[in-house]
Structure 1
Amino acid sequence: MAVGCVIELAARVASRELKNGFAVVRPPGHHAEESTAMGFCFFNSIAITAKYLRDKLNIGKILIVDLDVHHGNGTQQAFYADPSILYVSLHRYDEGNFFPGSGAPNEVGSGPGEGYNINIAWTGGLDPPMGDVEYLTAFRTVIMPAANEFDPEIVLVSAGFDAVEGHDPPLGGYKVTAKCFGHLTKQLLKLADGRVVLALEGGHDLTAICDASEACINALLGNEASTGSQWSHTLCQWIVLWLSLRSKRGRRQKQYQLWPLFQWMLSSVFLRKAAELLASPWKKSQPCEVPSPP
């Protein structure tokens, strides 16, 4: 029933009968592999839906964003060699010591799908726990640039909320606010003419699930939410990403070699433009701008 609900909703959004939607379903699905049930997941609703949209409705490019604190090993496995589906996951990894142990940064896809699997794998335990700043930074500097370049026809979201504050360390332990998930959803609505479908995945704290679901639904409905100052950290975050890309480890990451945006950021043009912004006078009320590719 969960799979059928997600397919039905996504098909209606893909056909423009609906603008967007949120499938509140149980059980979750992103851990389920082709022939293996695990992590409370029996059938992978998002993966099955993506294949349905691709094979039955001829949707050419699909973006899957997995927000669950656990890596979606089943979804990654399903599309690891598929260039028509870009899979992006933000998750607690801890060098493979956090369930399910997969989702390393160097797992980038294979064959024709190389570069179409992006893992933002947090390592370092809970000292300190990841929160809004880290998630917003990942969206601004990696996920949204790559997604815009990919230019999907529809966005599917594995909306797991176990990264929301309120979960004990064994279940996640992160401190992302519910409002942050609403803001991330709002960012995704800028893609695919707003054709975004969320499917509920993990989450063990009822208050956290309810609050995050409400924030995401408000974003889907177009209700405004307070997102705080957008100028204070953005440029510094881009500079940090630039330094990461320039590092020896960063240059080894396949996705940084395969996406033209990151190639451009490695050039001196980006650093020069960033330096110009840092040197110029600015006001708090000034809109947030970052260097853009020529």
Structure 2
Amino acid sequence: MSSPLEIELQNNCHAWDPALYNDTNYGYVPSLAAGIVFTVLFGLSMIAHTVQFIWTRWWWCSVFSVGAMVEVLGWAGRAWSSQCPYMLTPFLMQISTLIIAPAFFTAGIYVILGRLINVLGRSSSILSPALYLWIFCTCDIISLVVQAIGGGMASSEAGKVDGDTKPGTDIMVAGIVFQLASITVFAVCVFDFLRRILKQRLLRTVQGNVTPLLLAMMFSIVLIYIRSIYRVIELVQGWSGYLITHEAYFIALDGSMMVPAVAIFNFVHPGWFMPTRKSVDDFEQVSMNERLVT
């Protein structure tokens, strides 16, 4: 049962004072500078994505805005915790948001691949665009729900004296491992997609350079993959493990991975870089030119 002092610290803001109480919810005092920097960076990306999807009317790109907004809430919670490290509310706020935010980014990437398949033709993929969305977005939702449930259970127990965080942590790990597995399968599908479009020379059938969008998609997936591996190892070690009680790893392998993972699509926005199918006349002209060259 919590003591009156612990209840007071969890519910009201008190600056860190080892003489008052040495332990915090994190095992350290979160960095205010890191909290502000990442809140600003994700906030700028969120604003840019919002302007971009409204300007281009590519409404599905709002998933990037939503993901960035969830990241903003999480890092704002960590900035809040830097001033109130014993307080439970900002601690729970950052756990529940930062664990699920990447699911919105992967959802956007799944849609990008589906759109590319639509443009390049059904022969460019082993699965139809609709199946990609159904399979991988469903996996994303399942992963998100499982992680949210586990995060809620673990964080509520973390705020209790002698609370048992293991059941919730195990559920969170299961959700992240499931997400990691679905990303792995998706990466294999992307590799097959690239193999097919190169083998069938499908890039000549579209107008526009698709390379930047393909590179951005793969770049983002790699960063999310690294972050997910880190999160699995972190949580397997437990709430008092080495990784989770050293903020430098969280900054380097979570925040620093997720900023470029979403910001890359501010610079390589699908609304600007998605190619279009060439007309029949354009394609015939290309084929004629190729025959003349050979």
Category of TM-score, reference length = shorter chain? under 0.3
Higher helix proportion (structure 1 or 2): 2
Q: Which has the larger radius of gyration?
A: 2
Higher strand proportion (structure 1 or 2): 1
Higher relative contact order (CA 8 A, sep 6+): 2
- When normalised by structure 2's length, the TM-score is 0.25
